[in-house]
Every structure is written in C-alpha cells, then in structure tokens.
Amino acid sequence: MSMVERINKAIPKNDLIFIVAFVITSVVIITIPPLNGTPLRAVVGFPLVLFLPGYSLVSALFPGKDGLDLIEMIALSIGLSICIVVFIGLGLNYTPWGIRLGPVLLVLSVFTLIGTAVSALRRMG
C-alpha cells in the first residue's frame, strides 16, 4: 500500500469533519452571552439535538457506503436522535445536575463527538 493510500484511509470523510466543526461552533454559539440571545441559537440547536447524535451513531453502525441509502440514513438519524435525547434526559434526571442547558449540551456534544470518532475509526479499518 502506497503512502497516499494510507493517508487517504487515515483521513475521515468530510461529513465527519463537518460534524465536529458544527458541534464546536454550536457549543460556542449556545454558551456565549451575546450570541445565545439571537435566533442563531435555535438554528444551530435543532440539528445538534434532532439530527447529529443519531447521524454519528448511524455512521458508526454502518461505516461503508453499501450500508444505507441517503433517505434511510436521514430518517434513521432523526429517529435515533430523538431516542438518544430522551435517554440522555432520562439519565440526567437522576443525576445531581438535572435537566438543564449545561449538562444536556455537554452530554449531547460528548456523545456526538464520541460517535463521530468511532465512525472515523470504523471507516479507516
């Protein structure tokens, strides 16, 4: 295997890079005081809650291009995101931190980034 093939295999696809950048950007927009009072908070918050956790999980479960069609991937991502958010909320309800913005944002962001890392590793392997 040549060096170029190894580098191409080692670099995750563009969708995973976009997910990481979007999660970091949305955390900044949601937490910084001048920006969190704008409608931009809702624009970045909805995909962060309703699409990205499920997409990172679906990408980790089906890393190859042969796995799912685009429509199937989008539908499964939305459905899984709703389930993931419900279970995260249920779990946080029994912690001392409760269901507040900080803990929910932290756990959702970490879950999405871990799912993205796992899917990048599965795509490389």
- Residue-wise pLDDT for 66-110, tens only, equals 778 889 999 999 999 999 999 999 999 999 999 999 999 999 999
Backbone φ and ψ for 32, nearest 5 degrees, come out as -80, 125
CB 44 within 8 A of CB 109: no
Q: Please give the pLDDT value at position 64.
A: 75
Q: Above 80 in pLDDT, residue 123?
A: yes
**pTM of the model as a whole:** 0.85
Q: Above 90 in pLDDT, residue 58?
A: yes
CB 82 within 8 A of CB 50: yes
More confident site: 59 or 5: 59
Q: Please give the pLDDT value at position 49.
A: 95
Alpha-helix runs per DSSP H in 51-100: 52-61, 70-93
